[in-house]
Amino acid sequence: MPKRLAQSIRRWPVAYRTASRIYWALRPERLAEVFKGTRAREEGWAKRSIGKGYWDNRNHPSKSFLAEKIAAYSPESVLEIGCASGPNLYLLAKKLPAARLVGVDVNAEAVAFGNEQFKREGIANISLVESKAGKLAQFPDRSFDVVFTSALLIYIGPDKILDVMKDIVRLARKALIFMELHDSQLTHKDPQGLGVYHEGNWIRNYVNLLKQLVPEDKVKVSRIPHEVWSELPWSQSGAVIEVVL
Residue 226 lies in a domain: yes
Nearest-angstrom CA–CA distance, 234 and 102: 26
Percent of residues in the chain assigned helix, strand, coil, to nearest 5: 45, 20, 35
pLDDT beyond 90 at 77 = yes
pLDDT beyond 80 at 139 = yes
Residue 170 lies in a domain: yes
Q: Average model confidence (pLDDT) for the chain? A: 92
Nearest-angstrom CA–CA distance, 206 and 223: 13
**What's the confidence (pLDDT) of residue 169?**
97
H or E element that contains 81: strand 77-81
Task: Output DSSP code: residue 224.
Answer: P
**What's the confidence (pLDDT) of residue 134?**
87
Residue 4 lies in a domain: no
The whole-number average pLDDT for the span 217-228 is: 97
Task: Output DSSP code: residue 134.
Answer: T
**Residue pLDDT, tens place only, 159-180:** 999 999 999 999 999 999 999 9
**What's the confidence (pLDDT) of residue 18?**
61
pTM of structure: 0.90
Residue 5 lies in a domain: no
How many CA atoms lie less than 13 Å away from 85 in the CB half-sphere? Answer: 20
Residue 6 lies in a domain: no
Higher pLDDT, 135 or 214: 214
Q: How far is CA 216 from CA 42, 76, 196, 211, 238, in A?
A: 30, 26, 21, 5, 20
Confidence of residue 26 (pLDDT cuts 50, 70, 90): low
**What's the confidence (pLDDT) of residue 3?**
58
Residue 159 lies in a domain: yes
Range of the domain at 156: 12-244
**What's the confidence (pLDDT) of residue 33?**
86
pLDDT beyond 60 at 100 = yes
Nearest-angstrom CA–CA distance, 36 and 80: 25
Residue 1 lies in a domain: no
Confidence of residue 25 (pLDDT cuts 50, 70, 90): low
Identity of residue 227: E
The number of distinct structural domains making up the chain is: 1
The CA R_g of the chain, rounded to the nearest whole Å, is 18
Q: In CATH, what number is assigned to the domain containing residue 59?
A: 3.40.50.150
Whether 208 contacts 221, CB under 8 Å: no
